Amino acid sequence: VGCLYIVPTPIGNLADMSERALQVLAEVDLIAAEDTRHSGQLLQHFALHKPMFALHEHNERQRAATLISKLQEGQSIALVSDAGTPLISDPGYVIVQACREAGIRVVPLPGACALITALSAAGLPTDRFCFEGFLPAKPQQRRNALNALKVEPRTLVFYESPHRIVATLADLGQCFGAERHVVLARELTKQYETFLVGSVAEVAAKLAADPNQQRGEMVIVVAGAQAQTNAEQELNQALQTVQLLRAELP
C-alpha cells in the first residue's frame, strides 16, 4: 500500500519551499493538485517532472475514490494546493478522511501557512486562537457570522479576499465595535508584505486613504473579546485609582 503525503508549498516566497517537500515531490509516483496548471509551474521552477492529478473542491469526493485505489495499488501520492498547507481553506479533507477509513498512511509535512505566518507576527495573544477561514461572501450572512463571534475571547483569524476587505472591515466595526484591535497582514512573504495595525476604524481609514492597501492576499487577525475586556478593566481600575489619589491630594 502506498502513502499519502501532505505537502505545503510557499505562500509567496519560493525560498520557503522546504528541502523535505522537494524530496517528497521528487520521490512520489503522482502529485494530486488543486490546480494542475498552477502547481505545474511550481514544479517546473524546481525542475520536477511528475504526473499530476486534478483535485478540486467540487470533484473531490469522486476523485478521492480514484486516488484511494491508486494508493491501494501501491502508488505513493503527494497532495499539494495552490499555496500553503493543503486542507487549510483548501481541498484535501475528503481524501485524507478516505485514507484514514481505508487504513492508508498519511504523512504530513510542516510548512508555509498564511494563518500561522500572520498570527506569529500580529502581536495579539497566540496561546489560544480561533481560525474562521473565509467569512460568508453575502453581507447578511457575514454579519450573522460576525455577531456569533462577538464575545469570542480567543484571537480570531480570518482569510479575506481583496474584493471584500473594505466591506468586511465595515461589518467588523458594526458587529464588534470600531475600537476592536485588528491586524491586517497583507502579501506575507512577498515584496510588499505589510501589517496594518490599529482599531478597526483606524485600519479601515488606512485602506480608504490608499487603495493599494486593499490589494493582494490578506489575513485579518482580530483581538478576542475577553482580551479587550481585560484591558478595559485594567484601564478602568487605573482610572479609579487616579481619581482616589486625586481626591486625597491637596
Please report, as ranges, the residues that interact with ligand SAM according to CB under 6 A. Answer: 11-12, 81, 83-85, 88-90, 113-115, 159-161, 185, 187-190, 217-219
Residue nearest to ligand SAM (CB): 84
Min. distance of Cβ 93 from ligand SAM in angstroms?
12
Nearer to ligand SAM, 111 or 173 (CB): 111
Nearer to ligand SAM, 179 or 187 (CB): 187
Nearer to ligand SAM, 76 or 85 (CB): 85
Say which DSSP state 7 is in: -
Min. distance of Cβ 193 from ligand SAM in angstroms?
7
Q: Which three cell numbers stand for residue 46?
A: 524546481
Min. distance of Cβ 223 from ligand SAM in angstroms?
19
Say which DSSP state 12 is in: S
**What is the secondary structure of 161-223 as a DSSP string?**
-TTTHHHHHHHHHHHH-TTSEEEEEESTTSTT-EEEEEEHHHHHHHHHH-GGGG-S-EEEEE-
Nearer to ligand SAM, 38 or 190 (CB): 190
Min. distance of Cβ 117 from ligand SAM in angstroms?
7
Nearer to ligand SAM, 2 or 92 (CB): 92
Spatial CA neighbour of 88 closest among 61, 118, 62, 125: 118
Min. distance of Cβ 246 from ligand SAM in angstroms?
47
Min. distance of Cβ 221 from ligand SAM in angstroms?
11
Nearer to ligand SAM, 68 or 219 (CB): 219
Tell me the one-letter amino acid at 137.
A
Say which DSSP state 110 is in: P
Nearer to ligand SAM, 29 or 131 (CB): 131
C-alpha to C-alpha distance for 180 and 228, rounded to whole angstroms: 7
**What is the secondary structure of 33-96 as a DSSP string?**
ESSHHHHHHHHHHTT----EEE--TTTHHHHHHHHHHHHHTT--EEEE-SSBSTTSSSS-HHHH
Q: At a CB cut-off of 8 Å and minimum separation 6, what does 140 contact?
A: none
Spatial CA neighbour of 48 closest among 33, 26, 28, 27: 26
Min. distance of Cβ 244 from ligand SAM in angstroms?
47
